[in-house]
Amino acid sequence: AKAAGKRQWRRFRPQQRIRRVERHELQARLNEAVSRGQFTLRYQPVVDLATGDVAGFEALVRWRHSRYGLVSPDQFIPLAEETGQISPLGAWVLHHAAADIARLRHISRASAAPYVSVNVSAHQWRGAEFLGEVCGALDAAGLAPGALLLEITESVLMQRDRELDRLVREMKDLGVRIAVDDFGSGFSSLRYLREFPVDVLKIDKTFVDDIAYNTRQVALVQGIVHLADTLGLEVIAEGIEEPAQQELLAGIGCRFGQGYLFATPMTVEQGEEVLRRRGGD
Ligand code: C2E
Ligand code: CA
Ligand code: CA
Ligand code: CA
């Protein structure tokens, strides 16, 4: 048994080393990417389900890689979070998203100018410098704090402590709004809502996926929408792909939605086009 164990260990070792080298390389490339400006943002409209108006845009980062093309955040955000590289990357996202949305708000002729929604990782919510970065990004862009929505995932909220609570309160005092991302994907969603001052619930895509075929799912989402109404929160349904889903969600009082049915994430120039078209109606 001992020998077998040894053999197994030997067999595994080279592979582990390769994985470590790959991670190392990816880490080095990520550092380079920040300094060389290889990141780029795409914006997905958040739409009023009843009117089709664009209420805001969610900023979604991509890595413009010389060999692999546009790399999806799922491929590098988790590693960047582990290594702490998410801090400079997150600051970059914040600054560019604020600047881009300031530009979009300028050309928007709609009565309600669009906001920008930015994903903030656990690591950033833990950093002492985050509040300063938010203020810096708003100042540099000349953006009103109310035009910034910060997304916090449910998993972060489940590990709340005094420091996180204080940081969020400071953001709110500043006038920045807070959204719970992937709402409903965790196990104690209702618990933190009791005491945590959020403004927006983003209903996880998994609730939306089979809503047109599953009456229990409809009841669940209806419950979330009622709860949000009672607490004075806005609701955004994520990942809407079919007209039937839109109709159902609008029918049960869900005001906002996002998804490929309306638009995939787009460049800021395309966002400008969308606003111009709608403003010209
Ligand atoms: P998320 O915040 O839940 O963002 C929603 C994801 O679903 C996006 O993927 C979006 O493109 C995709 N999506 C939108 N509508 C639909 C739809 O109708 N159907 C389907 N199948 N997908 C849809 P994306 O852009 O690849 O981002 C993946 C995740 O990466 C995000 O999930 C977010 O957790 C993370 N992420 C993206 N940008 C940032 C960032 O700047 N900072 C941080 N910390 N995380 C980011
Ligand atoms: Ca998000
Ligand atoms: Ca989400
Ligand atoms: Ca997600």
CA of 135 to the centre of ligand 1 (A): 24
Question: Rounded to whole angstroms, what are the CA distances from 279 to 53, 100, 113, 115, 273?
Answer: 10, 18, 11, 16, 10
C-beta separation of 55 from 256 below 8 A: yes
Q: Is residue 10's pLDDT more than 60?
A: no
Position 159 scores a pLDDT of 85
Q: What is the ipTM of this complex?
A: 0.98
Position 34 scores a pLDDT of 79
Check pocket membership of 45 for ligand 1, CB cut-off 6 A: no
Residue nearest to atom 45 of ligand 1 (CA): 119
User: What is the arithmetic mean of pLDDT over 207-219?
Assistant: 93
Residue nearest to atom 33 of ligand 1 (CA): 119
Q: Is residue 186's pLDDT more than 60?
A: yes
**pLDDT, tens digit, for every residue of 18-34?**
566 677 777 888 888 87
Q: Is residue 106's pLDDT more than 70?
A: yes
User: What is the arithmetic mean of pLDDT over 173-201?
Assistant: 86
Question: Rounded to whole angstroms, what are the CA distances from 131 to 60, 76, 99, 169?
Answer: 21, 24, 17, 11
For CA atoms 164, 165, 170, 172, give the dihedral sign.
positive
Select the highest-mean-pLDDT range: 5-19, 84-98, 155-169: 84-98
Which residue did the predictor score with more confidence, 46 or 24? Answer: 46
Nearest ligand, measured from the Cα of 60? 1
Position 11 scores a pLDDT of 45
Check pocket membership of 170 for ligand 1, CB cut-off 6 A: no
**Total-model pTM:** 0.91
**pLDDT, tens digit, for every residue of 127-182?**
889 999 999 999 999 999 999 999 999 888 888 888 999 999 999 999 999 999 99
Nearest ligand, measured from the Cα of 121? 1
Task: Kindly report the average pLDDT of the chain as a whole number.
Answer: 88
Query: What band does 111 get if pLDDT is binned at 50, 70 and 90?
Result: low
Residue nearest to atom 4 of ligand 1 (CA): 60
